[in-house]
């Protein structure tokens, strides 16, 4: 489908909105992983059907390293009157932060920095040398997981399990081309369920492959069991752990360039406060963070709201919005655990009106950016990645017009 041809030209669209817009703040989830990387959802339809049931009107695909899901996302969103955002996620490395021992938004690995790209061009486009860099990152990521699968099979053989995992079968049946360690954990858990029919036998086998460590989770809690598999076998110190090749982590500046050359807006995903109110070395105080992000040419931030207290979300999101940043929220859904698509803060706390408004405005700017990149070649950022802050209000209005037009036509 030619998604953008479903909309009229900009001036006609704005005239339509002037007559038909109702000023409502629409619910947005701007960060959702799908089976094109790893996801709690069985497929894109499940994710978007949940969005419909929870009255979410704007939904952003946000897979690791891939835009392959964009066509399906666009078509599935349009058919459900949901406005699609086209995003992506990378794991990069800032070597200065690594050398200084600074933990950024990976709480375990200094210098490792997750970055999202918001509002990428659709249809997806990426020129050389950036396309080759991205292809190399995807290849290295899959190679690491393939090696991990082989090592996991050694563990199974040593335990006389009577079965092994088939990497190619996992890739074919469980993925859309990107294999993550979570796929291995899910495949192993499913094999154990098939091989051992009683809860007692399953628990005994887990204790065996965990090197004598008993399974903590309830045998019916699949998401928790898969996390235990990862923690005991696939993470550092585990019997099947394979260190990641540094080639799988491009430099942070390179990732920003890939995002810009994909038509997107480089975005910093905050961890923010944990359950004990702690922040990483990098993320507090916010006054320091914002200056570093500006120097790194990043003008957009996002939060996975279930991680954070409502107070910190309001403090940080309000501060960054006030200082000209694009701010969006999401759920991620990048684990086996199924959560609502509608956004909540920690402990299922509903978002405040202030946060809903901030998120909607961020989504509107992203929507307008996507549309203008597709129709005029340039969106919210110029060729150097600088935001057009003087026209922020007009981008917000255009985004509202786009979202309302799709919802109501």
pLDDT, the chain, mean: 95
**295 and 219 inside one domain:** no
103-127 average pLDDT score: 94
Q: Per-residue pLDDT for 114 more than 70?
A: yes
Q: Can you list the positions of beta strands (E) in 194-313?
A: 265-270, 300-304
pLDDT tens, residue by residue, 194-212: 999 899 999 999 999 999 9
Q: Which of 340, 338, 342 is nearest to 355 (CA)?
A: 342
Q: How confident is the model at residue 244 (pLDDT cuts 50, 70, 90)?
A: confident
**115 and 161 inside one domain:** no
Q: How confident is the model at residue 246 (pLDDT cuts 50, 70, 90)?
A: confident
The whole domain housing 168 covers 138-234
Q: How confident is the model at residue 247 (pLDDT cuts 50, 70, 90)?
A: confident
Burial of 47 (C-beta count, 10 Å sphere; 0-12/13-18/19+): buried
Q: Per-residue pLDDT for 82 more than 90?
A: yes
264-281 average pLDDT score: 97
Contact 90, 60 (CB under 8 A): no
At 325 the pLDDT is: 98
Structural domains in the chain (count): 2
255 located within any domain: no
135-149 average pLDDT score: 92
Contacts of 185 (CB under 8 A, 6+ apart): 226, 227, 229, 230, 234
Q: Per-residue pLDDT for 1 more than 70?
A: no
Among 189, 214, 234, identify where a domain stops: 234
pTM for the model: 0.92
At 383 the pLDDT is: 85
Q: How confident is the model at residue 89 (pLDDT cuts 50, 70, 90)?
A: very high
83 located within any domain: yes
359 located within any domain: yes
pLDDT tens, residue by residue, 392-402: 999 999 999 99
**218 and 282 inside one domain:** no
Total Cβ atoms within 10 A of residue 335: 16
Q: Per-residue pLDDT for 403 more than 70?
A: yes
**52 and 29 inside one domain:** yes
At 172 the pLDDT is: 93
27 located within any domain: yes
Give the CA angle between residues 279, 345, 38 to the nearest 5°.
85
What six digits make up the tokens of 344? 């909540």
At 321 the pLDDT is: 97
At 248 the pLDDT is: 75
Query: CATH number of the domain that 325 lies in?
Result: 3.20.20.140
268-288 average pLDDT score: 96
**272 and 366 inside one domain:** yes
At 108 the pLDDT is: 84
């Amino acid at each position: 489908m030619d998604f953008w041809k479903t909309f009229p030209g900009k001036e006609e669209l704005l005239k339509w909105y002037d007559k038909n817009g109702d000023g409502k703040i629409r619910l947005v989830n701007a960060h959702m992983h799908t089976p094109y990387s790893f996801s709690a959802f069985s497929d894109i339809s499940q994710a978007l059907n949940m969005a419909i049931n929870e009255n979410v009107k704007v939904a952003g695909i946000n897979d690791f390293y891939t835009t392959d899901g964009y066509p399906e996302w666009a078509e599935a969103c349009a058919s459900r009157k949901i406005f699609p955002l086209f995003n992506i996620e990378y794991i990069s490395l800032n070597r200065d932060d690594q050398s200084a021992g600074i933990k950024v938004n990976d709480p375990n690995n200094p210098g490792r920095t997750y970055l999202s790209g918001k509002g990428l061009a659709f249809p997806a486009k990426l020129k050389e040398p950036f396309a080759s860099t991205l292809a190399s990152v995807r290849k290295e990521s899959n190679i690491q997981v393939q090696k991990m699968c082989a090592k996991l099979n050694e563990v199974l053989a040593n335990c006389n399990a009577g079965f092994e995992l088939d990497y190619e079968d996992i890739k074919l049946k469980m993925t859309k081309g990107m294999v993550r360690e979570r796929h291995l954990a899910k495949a192993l858990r499913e094999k154990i369920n098939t091989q051992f029919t009683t809860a007692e036998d399953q628990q005994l086998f887990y204790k065996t492959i965990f090197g004598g460590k008993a399974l903590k989770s309830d045998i019916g809690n699949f998401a928790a069991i898969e996390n235990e598999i990862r923690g005991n076998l696939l993470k550092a110190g585990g019997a099947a752990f394979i260190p990641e090749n540094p080639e799988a982590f491009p430099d942070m500046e390179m990732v920003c360039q890939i995002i810009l050359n994909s038509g997107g807006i480089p975005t910093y995903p905050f961890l923010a406060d944990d359950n004990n109110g702690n922040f990483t070395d990098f993320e507090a105080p916010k006054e320091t963070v914002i200056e570093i992000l500006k120097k790194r040419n990043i003008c957009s931030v996002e939060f996975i709201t279930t991680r954070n207290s409502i107070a910190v979300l309001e403090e940080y999101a309000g501060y960054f919005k006030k200082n000209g940043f694009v701010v969006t929220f999401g759920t991620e859904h990048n684990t086996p655990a199924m959560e609502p698509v509608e956004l909540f803060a920690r402990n299922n706390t509903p978002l405040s009106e202030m946060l809903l408004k901030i998120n909607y405005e961020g989504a509107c700017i992203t929507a307008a950016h996507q549309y203008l990149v597709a129709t005029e070649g340039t969106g919210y950022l110029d060729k150097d990645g600088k935001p057009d802050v003087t026209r922020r209000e007009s981008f917000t209005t255009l985004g509202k017009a786009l979202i309302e037009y799709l919802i109501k036509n």
